[in-house]
A and B are shown apart, each in its own frame.
Chain A
Amino acid sequence: MNPRLQAALEAGRKGGCPGIAPYLTAGDGGLGRTLAALHAIEKAGAVCVELGLPFSDPLADGPVLQAAAERSLEGGMTPTGTLDLIQRYRQEGGQMAVLLFSYTNPLFVGLGGLRASAERLATVGGDGFVVPDLPPELAGELQDACEELDLGTVFFATPRSSPARIRAAAEASSGFLYCVGRVGVTGQRTHFDAEVLRWLDQVRDLAGSTPMAVGFGVATPGDITALAGHTDLAISGSALVQHLHRTKGTDQDGAQAAFDFVAALCGAQPD
Chain B
Amino acid sequence: MSTFQLPTHFGRFGGCYAPETLMPALLELEAAYIEATGDGAFEQELQRLRRDFAGRATPLFHARRLSQEWGLDLWIKREDLLHTGAHKLNNALGQALLAKRMGKTRILAETGAGQHGVASATVCALLGLECVVYMGEVDMQRQRPNVERMHLLGARVEPVKSGQRTLKDAVNEALRAWVSDPDAHYLLGSALGPHPFPTMVAAFHQVIGDEAKQQFQAQGDGSLPDLAVACVGGGSNAIGLFRAFVPHDSVTLVGVEAGGRGSEPGEHAARWLGGQEGVLHGCRTLVLADEHGQIQGTHSISAGLDYPAVGPEHAHLADIGRARYETAMDDEALEGFAALARLEGVLPALESSHALGWLMSHREEWRGKQVVLGLSGRGDKDLDTVLPLLGGQA
Interface residues, chain A, CB within 8 Å of chain B?
55-57, 59-62, 66, 73, 78-80, 103-111, 132-135, 137-138, 155-158, 160-162, 164-165, 168-169, 180, 183-185, 188
Contact = CB atoms under 8 A, between A and B. Distances in A.
Interface in B147-177: 162-163, 168, 172, 175-176
Contact of B16 (A62, A132, A135): A135
B279 interface: yes
Contacts of A165: 2-3, 20, 23-24
Interface in B10-30: 15-21, 23-25, 27
B295 interface: yes
Given A110-B294, A169-B20, 16 more contacts: A56-B294, A57-B168, A57-B295, A59-B175, A60-B176, A104-B279, A105-B287, A106-B294, A133-B19, A134-B17, A137-B4, A137-B8, A138-B15, A162-B24, A180-B20, A185-B176
A111 B292 CA distance: 7
A156 B292 CA distance: 26
Contacts of A108: 277-279, 284, 293
Interface in B105-126: none
B289 interface: yes
B24 A160 contact: yes
Given A108-B277, A156-B20, A184-B21, A57 B163 contact: yes
B365 interface: no
B19 A156 contact: yes
B280 interface: yes
Contacts of B8: 137
A66 to B, nearest CB: 6
Contacts of B162: 66
27 contacts: A56-B163, A56-B295, A57-B163, A57-B172, A59-B281, A66-B162, A79-B293, A80-B292, A105-B295, A108-B277, A109-B277, A110-B292, A110-B293, A111-B293, A132-B20, A133-B18, A135-B16, A156-B21, A160-B182, A161-B20, A161-B23, A161-B24, A162-B2, A162-B27, A165-B20, A165-B23, A165-B24
B18 A135 contact: yes
Nearest to B277: A108
B179 interface: yes
A216 B318 CA distance: 40
Contacts of A138: 15-17
A185 B179 contact: yes
B179 A105 contact: no
Contacts of A55: 293-294
B293 A109 contact: yes
Contacts of A162: 1-2, 24, 27
Nearest to A216: B21
The 9 closest A-B pairs by CB, nearest first: A110-B293, A109-B293, A156-B20, A164-B2, A106-B293, A160-B24, A184-B180, A60-B19, A110-B292
B291 interface: yes
A105 B276 CA distance: 11
A203 to B, nearest CB: 12
Interface string B305-317: 0000000000000
Contacts of B284: 108
A56 B1 CA distance: 32
A59 B176 contact: yes
A143 to B, nearest CB: 15
B19 A132 contact: yes
A89 B19 CA distance: 29
B282 interface: yes
B291 to A, nearest CB: 7
B276 to A, nearest CB: 6
B182 A105 contact: no
Interface string B21-54: 1011101000000000000000000000000000
Interface in B265-287: 276-282, 284, 287
A156 to B, nearest CB: 4
A180 B292 contact: no
Contacts of B168: 57
B319 to A, nearest CB: 16
B289 A105 contact: yes
- Most A CB contacts (10 A, CB to CB) among B8, B19, B291 go to B19
Nearest to A79: B292
A107 B21 contact: no
A90 B169 CA distance: 36
A183 B182 CA distance: 8
A59 B163 CA distance: 12
B293 A157 contact: no
Contacts of B175: 59
- Most A CB contacts (10 A, CB to CB) among B180, B277, B293, B295 go to B293
